[in-house]
């Protein structure tokens, strides 16, 4: 063995094997050094490019992909995003480049060329002053485009205070000062077209603003977004009916908002993104930045503005993500009826025989509980379209309430809260990160947003045939509505327009009494057109495709709240099962007084005495008095709709009015 200059034996690492090597006692487990010169380059080797998620049929490539190189496709994509972010007072859009500005060194390590995007030139009809140079025009805006949930987790954890990973893997985040929607701060541009088409005035949720004020707020939002080093851009779809889907672009400043919309909208494949092109509707979410209180029509620092002509939505002064979801739902309430498609605020499921049911109901009526049935496939939990080809879910995800959530009561929602899910405003243990769903310290409106495929029995794609049953749910705390009634078409329209339920409100002296709540079409806050237009479309489709209407009371029996008892959930489930099976179509019926509802005399598994509410009241006089009180509330609520003509004459309006309570 050779010696080193200091007399020590030289260690042989190569050459002939020693005896130990021959016996297999020593192993050389060294490997070739990594192909990196710097730590940034080493990190860049850790990630590889994503492959398309949509297989190419028959081995043929997409015609769009074949015509464009990857570099050209990305250039066009950036041009489109720059156009979306363009100010109306400057001739060019911002200089945009893909990627996180914090990872510039990694791009250089890979040998990528420095990006030099060409500014996109636009000509705006609304331009007054033209600013040649601004600070934003001298910088690049980095675009984080359609990031994956894992990438958005990294962004949120690193840059957004209040973001944490819970014990089940969900992303817990905070929505800031606003923990719910701000309906009084929502505005819609009233122009020549919308003045004629939309529902304005008494009872309408639509509050007007003018075009100039919208453009002022748009400029404020765009300037804020362009001042940031990076923005998140989501290009996604609404409506699982591919013939009638809408392309939406969401530009936001928070990873929380990007992940929320990733979950709630329909997620495009790589192939679909290549052909995405110009969006049909764009959201500018600058919610971290307030609106200018001195701007006309502004009543607070929050403003949620929709311009149907420009197909744009601007959010200022609120970080609550639900504004984006419900804002787009309102847009669908405008766009879809123009195509002869009915937009609906409902749950929807389908039986094994292909029988579809729609569930309408306000908060507390059991819509989510009753539409979630392990024996049936879930098409969607909240927003749907009914076209000439059937029903389709508008969304790609679910937005579930989390207050008092338990695994026993809502196992599907409980199990859906895992990696990829956004948890809004929940409270958790600082060490274990286990969520306490009973804690209302931040808000009672805690929520979870997750992709619909997280529900085991979700039907993918979320489409189905024409509904057989339309179920209107009411939690009647007055205790006078029957557990189930079969409705004719005018009655269905009347109760659909009314959108009734009753809440229990505490009075100052501690006595609790029912409080009637009405929400037109079971979603008055989101509709754009007059409620009777949606009701007429519903009746037309029900008649054309043979659907039956039902009114189901999930509230009280035997007396009002505080006197009677809540109708047992197993009984309500039996009623719903009887509707699905068709059992109630052949049942015997009798008519109730005042409301004139057809009620079955017998249902398998349900005590017959509770089917007619008068039987469960010991004080018959109190029953009649309460019945007339509720009927009066219905009539008073319907006054705002009574003078609205449907079609060329008032005959249909008269039929609907006659279908209400008579006394």
- As annotated, the active-site residues are 181, 326, 345, 363, 367-368, 382, 447
The whole-angstrom separation of Cα 223 and Cα 217 is: 10
Sign of CA dihedral 94, 269, 330, 421: negative
Distances (CA, A) of 309 to 298, 313, 316, 327, 439: 21, 11, 20, 15, 43
The whole-angstrom separation of Cα 459 and Cα 292 is: 45
The whole-angstrom separation of Cα 653 and Cα 650 is: 5
Sole residue written with tokens 């081995």:
59
Query: Residue 350: which H helix or E strand, with range?
Result: strand 347-350
- Please answer whether residues 363 and 475 qualify as being in contact, where contact means their C-beta atoms are separated by less than 8 angstroms: no
- Please answer whether residues 483 and 552 qualify as being in contact, where contact means their C-beta atoms are separated by less than 8 angstroms: yes
Sole residue written with tokens 């009066």:
632
Paired sense of beta strands 548-553 and 512-518, if any? unpaired
- Please answer whether residues 482 and 611 qualify as being in contact, where contact means their C-beta atoms are separated by less than 8 angstroms: yes
The whole-angstrom separation of Cα 381 and Cα 386 is: 15
- Please answer whether residues 577 and 515 qualify as being in contact, where contact means their C-beta atoms are separated by less than 8 angstroms: no
The whole-angstrom separation of Cα 651 and Cα 297 is: 39
The whole-angstrom separation of Cα 469 and Cα 486 is: 10
The whole-angstrom separation of Cα 513 and Cα 477 is: 8
Tokens of 200: 């304005």
Tell me the DSSP string of 495-561. HHHH-EEEEEEE-TTS-EEEEEEE-GGG-TTT--S-HHHHHHHHHHHHHHHT-EEEEEE-SEESSST
**3-state secondary structure at position 165:** strand
What's phi and psi for 551, nearest 5 deg? Answer: -110, 120
The whole-angstrom separation of Cα 516 and Cα 362 is: 12
Helices then strands, counting H and E runs in the chain, come out as: 18, 32
Rg (CA), the chain: 30
Paired sense of beta strands 347-350 and 390-393, if any? unpaired
- Report the first-to-last Cα separation within the chain, whole angstroms: 115
- Please answer whether residues 453 and 149 qualify as being in contact, where contact means their C-beta atoms are separated by less than 8 angstroms: no
Tokens of 187: 């505005």
Nearest C-alpha neighbor of 267 from the set 461, 447, 66: 461
Q: CB within 8 A of 25, min separation 6: which ones?
A: none
């Amino acid at each position: 063995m050779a010696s080193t200059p200091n007399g020590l034996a030289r260690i042989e690492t190569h050459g002939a094997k020693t005896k130990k090597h021959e016996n297999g006692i020593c192993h050389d487990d060294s490997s070739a050094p990594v192909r990196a010169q710097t730590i940034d380059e080493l990190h860049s080797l850790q990630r590889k490019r994503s492959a398309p998620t949509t297989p190419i049929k028959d081995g043929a490539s997409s015609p769009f992909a074949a015509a464009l190189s990857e570099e050209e496709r990305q250039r066009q994509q950036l041009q489109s995003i720059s156009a979306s972010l363009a100010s109306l007072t400057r001739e060019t859009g911002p200089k945009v480049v893909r990627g996180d500005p914090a990872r510039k060194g990694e791009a250089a390590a890979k040998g990528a060329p420095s990006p030099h995007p060409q500014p996109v030139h636009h000509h705006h009809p609304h331009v007054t002053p033209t600013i040649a140079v601004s600070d934003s025009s001298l910088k690049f805006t980095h675009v984080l485009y359609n990031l994956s949930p894992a990438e958005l987790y990294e962004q949120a954890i690193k840059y957004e205070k209040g973001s944490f990973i819970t014990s089940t893997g969900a992303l817990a985040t905070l929505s800031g000062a606003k923990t719910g929607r701000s309906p009084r701060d929502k505005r819609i541009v009233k122009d020549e077209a919308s003045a004629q088409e939309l529902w304005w005035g008494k009872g309408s949720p639509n509050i007007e603003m003018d075009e100039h004020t919208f453009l002022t707020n748009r400029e404020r939002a765009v300037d804020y977004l362009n001042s940031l080093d990076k923005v998140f851009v989501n290009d996604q779809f609404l409506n699982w009916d591919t013939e009638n889907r809408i392309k939406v672009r969401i530009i936001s400043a928070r990873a929380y908002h990007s992940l929320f919309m990733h979950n709630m909208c329909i997620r495009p494949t790589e192939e679909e993104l290549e052909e995405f092109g110009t969006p049909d509707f764009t959201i500018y979410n600058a919610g971290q930045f307030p609106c200018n209180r001195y701007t006309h029509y502004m009543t607070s620092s929050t403003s949620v503005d929709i311009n149907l002509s420009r197909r744009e939505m601007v959010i200022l002064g609120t970080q609550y993500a639900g504004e984006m979801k419900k804002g787009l739902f309102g847009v669908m309430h405008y766009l879809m009826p123009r195509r002869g498609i009915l937009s609906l605020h409902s749950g929807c499921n389908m039986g094994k025989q292909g029988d579809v049911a729609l569930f309408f109901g306000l908060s507390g009526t059991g819509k989510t509980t009753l539409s979630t049935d392990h024996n049936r496939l879930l098409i969607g939990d909240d927003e749907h379209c009914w076209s000439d080809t059937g029903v389709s879910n508008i969304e790609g995800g679910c937005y579930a309430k989390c207050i008092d959530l338990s695994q026993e009561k809502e196992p599907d929602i409980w199990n859906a809260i895992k990696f990829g899910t956004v948890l809004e405003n929940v409270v958790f243990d600082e060490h274990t990160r286990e969520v306490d769903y009973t804690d209302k310290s931040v808000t009672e409106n805690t929520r979870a947003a997750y992709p619909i495929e997280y529900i085991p029995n979700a039907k993918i794609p979320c489409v189905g045939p024409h509904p057989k049953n339309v179920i209107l749910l009411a939690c009647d705390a007055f205790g006078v509505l029957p557990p189930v009634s079969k409705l004719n078409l005018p009655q269905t329209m009347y109760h659909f327009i009314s959108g009734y339920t009753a809440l229990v409100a505490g009075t100052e002296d501690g006595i609790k009494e029912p409080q009637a709540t009405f929400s037109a079409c079971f979603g008055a806050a989101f509709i754009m057109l007059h409620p009777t237009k949606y009701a007429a479309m519903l009746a037309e489709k029900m008649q054309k495709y043979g659907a039956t209407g039902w009114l189901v009371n999930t509230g009280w029996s035997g007396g009002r709240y505080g006197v009677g008892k809540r109708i047992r959930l197993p009984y309500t489930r039996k009623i719903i099962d009887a509707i699905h099976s068709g059992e109630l179509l052949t049942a015997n019926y009798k008519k109730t007084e005042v409301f004139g509802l057809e009620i079955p005399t017998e249902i398998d598994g349900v005590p017959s005495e509770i089917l007619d509410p008068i039987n469960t009241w010991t004080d018959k006089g109190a029953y009649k008095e309460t019945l007339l009180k509720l009927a009066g509330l219905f009539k008073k609520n319907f006054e705002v709709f009574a003078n609205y003509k449907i079609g060329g004459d008032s005959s249909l309006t008269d039929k609907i009015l006659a279908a209400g309570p008579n006394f």
